[in-house]
Amino acid sequence: MKRLTLKDVAAMAEVSPITVSRVVNGADGVRANVRQKVEAAIAELGYIPNRSASVLASSKSKLIGVLIPSLSNVVFNDVLRGIYDIATTANYQILLFNTHYSPLEEMRAVRTLLGQSPEGIIITGGEQTATTRTMLEEARVPIVQIMGKVDKPIDINVGFSHFDAGGAVAQLLLDKRYRKIAFLGARMDRRTCQRLDGFKQRLSAVNYLDDRRIITTSEPSSVAMGVSLFRELMEVTKGDCDAVFCCNDDLAIGVLHECKKMNISVPEEMGVCGFNDIEMAAFTEPALTTVRVNRYRMGSKAMELIFEKTHPTSENKSTTSGYINTGFELVMRNSTR
């Protein structure tokens, strides 16, 4: 009960193994009738090529490594979908690692990944350890850092400035005549912190920043967490607060829920703004003002850039490096004036 090999197919088709190899890999330079004979033999036998052998011999893996910090965050679903859709089309495979927001797990994952000779790597953010960074650089394959603008990209960077987005939200709320604006944040990864920084800078520029109104936790984000952060905010500030910027929509939905319970009217007494624009945001009561970001595009674009770099053509050489801004967009709904 041995595994079928090229040789078996070759024997059946009465050709040499290399010819079978060429047929399998769709290489040209095989006559049509020979190709058919081989294909028939493959079908007949149900032959499936051994990829390890192929990778070892050719050092072409058709493999892209993807490292993301969470599998429970909807944000990454959309990104992943973008990545998978493009990868599958190009017949590439994805090796996905969940780093749980830990640079150490990330480092371990990179090491494991590098053992598989990936032809490209998509990694979240720019908080890699020095070792990880070195390994990545030495891998000599296209690397795309996604989700946020990073300070010193390893190679390519696809995302948007979370700092600017945070600032834009602060400005929006100021424009709507809110003056006692709070920030609620969970998980507090790098990008969330950047949103907070942008937010703080904008507020402090007009002297409306009050640190008591910034409530954060390192715990994961959830609707329930939105509820409890908001309660904490109300307690700490004794209700002296007229708007909340939540670091994501889940939190914001929790705030909306709690406002109803506390009989605080939104958007009059309390403006609420989320982040991400998940589908639910359009269906809350009142509908949630939030920031839309192009998640699917971040994934698909990252994948496309890897392919452009792997298979260079004359017209794409220029684009394949540096920072690609996928942008963000304020979505005004009824949870703000």
Binding site for DNA (CB under 7 A): 2-3, 5-7, 15-19, 21-22, 24-25, 28-31, 34-35, 49-50, 53-54, 56-60
Radius of gyration of the chain (CA): 25
Contact 77, 133 (CB under 8 A): no
Tell me the sheet residues that pair with 290.
331
Angle at 178 between CA 279 and CA 249, to 5 degrees: 20
Buried b (16+ CB within 10 A) or exposed e, 80-117: bebbbebbeeeebebbbbbbebeeeebbebbeebbeeb
* Size of site (CB under 8 A) for a second copy: 46
Q: Hunting for tokens 């990008």 — which residue is that?
A: 191
Assess whether the previous peptide bond of 267 is cis (omega < 30° from 0): yes
Q: Which is nearer to DNA, 15 or 246 (CB)?
A: 15
Residue 90 is a binding residue for a second copy (CB under 8 A) = no
**Binding flags for a second copy, 229-268, as an x/- string (CB under 8 A):** ---------------------x--xx--x--x--------
Cβ neighbours of 161 (radius 10 Å): 19
Contact 129, 104 (CB under 8 A): yes
d(CA 269, CA 239): 10
Sign of CA dihedral 101, 106, 109, 110: positive
Task: Say whether residue 74 binds a second copy (CB under 8 A).
Answer: yes
- Using CB under 8 A as the binding rule, the residues of this chain from 132 to 191 that contact a second copy are 134-135, 138
Binding segment for a second copy among 71-79, 149-157, 171-179, 309-317 (CB under 8 A)? 71-79
2 binds, among a second copy, DNA, none (CB under 5 to 8 A by kind): DNA
282 binds a second copy (CB under 8 A): yes
Minimum distance of a second copy from residue 318's CB (angstroms): 26
Residue 106 touching a second copy (CB under 8 A): no
- State the minimum distance, in angstroms, from the CB of residue 136 to a second copy: 12
Distance CA 335, CA 331 (A): 11
Shortest Å, Cβ 288 to a second copy: 12
Closest contact distance (angstroms) between CB of 259 and a second copy is 12
Please tell me the distance from the alpha carbon of residue 67 to that of residue 87, in angstroms, as a whole number. 15
Which sign, positive or negative, has the C-alpha torsion 250, 103, 111, 312?
positive
Q: Residue 90 or 280: which CB sits closer to a second copy?
A: 280
Instruction: Please pick, from the candidates 36, 52, 204, 319, the single residue that binds a second copy as defined by CB under 8 A.
Output: 52
Whether the CB-CB separation of 36 and 20 falls below 8 Å is answered with no
In the complex with DNA, the residue whose CB is nearer, 54 or 237, is 54
Q: Which option in DNA, a second copy, none does residue 254 bind, with CB closer than 5 to 8 A by kind?
A: a second copy
Least distance CB 282 / a second copy (angstroms): 8
Q: SS3 of 28, please?
A: coil
Binding site for a second copy (CB under 8 A): 46, 48-53, 55-56, 61, 71-72, 74, 77-78, 80-81, 84, 88, 93-96, 98, 111-112, 114-117, 134-135, 138, 222-224, 250, 253-254, 257, 260, 279-280, 282-283, 285
